[in-house]
Amino acid sequence: MKRSKKILLLILCIALLFVPVTSFFYIAGHMNHECMGVDCHICAQIGFSIHNINISKIYIIAALYALIVFVTALSICPSEDVICHSGITLISLKVELLN
């Protein structure tokens, strides 16, 4: 995978995690506000934040999965590149492929 695709994947994971995390902190920060009645803007925003969290549960799981895959691939690739680019092939090892 090219480096630009890895960076794009990381940015996408962070963006997918940003909305629900900020919604959670908004709810936590405004949970004990003084409600002004039926047209309370803070209550409406809390409802919208709860809706964002409920909608984005699948995206959180997908983003965490992609982030885990990204970190794993990043930790494996340097060791794989050493093996792949070391010049070791079946021909250099003189392996006979007889069928």
19 secondary structure, DSSP code = H
Q: What is the mean pLDDT of residues 46-73?
A: 82
Q: For residues 63 and 17, is the Cβ–Cβ distance under 8 A?
A: yes
pLDDT digits (tens, 9 = 90+) for 61-84: 877 888 888 888 777 766 555 555
Give the number of other CB atoms < 10 A from CB of residue 30. 13
**Torsion sign over Cα 16, 20, 26, 29:** negative
- pTM score > 0.75 for this model? no
In the predicted structure, residue 99 carries a pLDDT above the cut 80: no
